[in-house]
Structure 1
Amino acid sequence: MTSDTAVRLVEIRETALDVAEVLDSLDEAADGGVNLFVGRVRDHDGGRGVDGLDYSAHPSALDRLREVCALVAGRHDVHGVSAVHRIGHLDIGDIAVIIGTASAHRGVAFEASRDLIDTLKDQVPIWKHQVFTDGSDEWVGTP
């Protein structure tokens, strides 16, 4: 399978994310290993309480996310790669990102998923604005 055909679901959206949608996008009879990672908004960061956050994306973010998915698919023996990221305001516990990979074997799916989330965070221009319980704030991931 080529890296282009392995890329299944790639979206950036302001609406709630759904684990079942990502899992369904990776449903193939040949795959014995499907690995999902779900990133949620936590109530703390760096020892400080967090009230919530906002994600913003550069206009090129979706294209870059597709490129990252294809890149990761090309580096691993996977049949499916999916990634969905949320933008806008998120509360504590909300899902911010879901990524998934599917392969004939679990080890490959685990490795590809780790590569996908790490490469996404490093290369896709999506920025996080955290608001802390003490009223302060910070931007994370901005150039």
Structure 2
Amino acid sequence: MIRVQREDFDLGAEVKALTARNPRIGGLCSFVGLVRDMHGDDSVRAMTLEHYPGMTEKMLQRIDDEAHWRWPLEASLVIHRHGRLDPGDQIVLVATASPHRQAAFEACQFLIDWLKTQAPFWKKEETPEGERWVEARESDDAAAERWAGTGKAAG
């Protein structure tokens, strides 16, 4: 399931709904990204996330479909927020459920790595010096690159 929304989410409720009535799930892995109050040595007062409605959801679905092809997942969830967020606010939730914990861990990490580099979101930070667009980081590209060319994972 993919959702792009302005509203916050309830982690407990989302995980409970994702795993409800599915006794095949043996492992659940989740990642929640939060707005930091620092970027490098600079203070961040807020962050605004922008996206292209429709295009963003399609790309997130493609990334999620790839995870389901690579790992034996019973369920997955990606919620990404947009709009103005303050430090400490939740930005993203990625959750994966599988019969086996290793598949849940790997698929969750894959989803967040690819989401960081492939999903069409733009981030603007508010700092004491003014607003600035957040540039792509080489470390995010390197994290996503390790999944490139890898085939379907064993169940």
Please indicate the TM-score interval, normalised by the length of the shorter structure: 0.7 to 0.9
Secondary structure of 1:30's counterpart equals: coil
TM, length-normalised to structure 1: 0.86
Q: Which structure dedicates a bigger proportion of its chain to strand?
A: 1
Paired position in structure 2 for 1:49: 43
Output aligned runs, 1:1-143, within 5 Å. Answer: 9-27=1-19, 28-59=22-53, 60-141=55-136
Q: 1:138 and 1:125 mapped to 2: Cα distance?
A: 14
Instruction: Flag structure 1 segments of 5+ consecutive residues without an equivalent.
Output: 1-8
The normalised TM-score by structure 2 is 0.80
Q: Which residue of 1 aligns with 2:147?
A: none
Q: CA deviation at 1:136?
A: 4.5
**% identity of equivalent residues:** 32
Q: Which runs of 4+ in 1 moved over 4 A?
A: none
Count of residues in correspondence between the two structures = 133
Give the C-alpha shift of residue 47 in structure 1. Answer: 1.6
Q: In 2, distance between residues paired with 1:127 and 1:18?
A: 24
Question: Which runs of no fewer than 5 residues in structure 2 stay unpaired?
Answer: 137-155
CA distance in 1, matches of 2:104, 2:45: 34
Distance 1:138 1:10, change over 3 A: same
- Contact kept? 2:124, 2:131, Cα under 8 Å: no
Cα deviation, 1:39-97, whole Å, max 9, x if unaligned, reads 00011011211111000011300111111111111111211111000000000100000
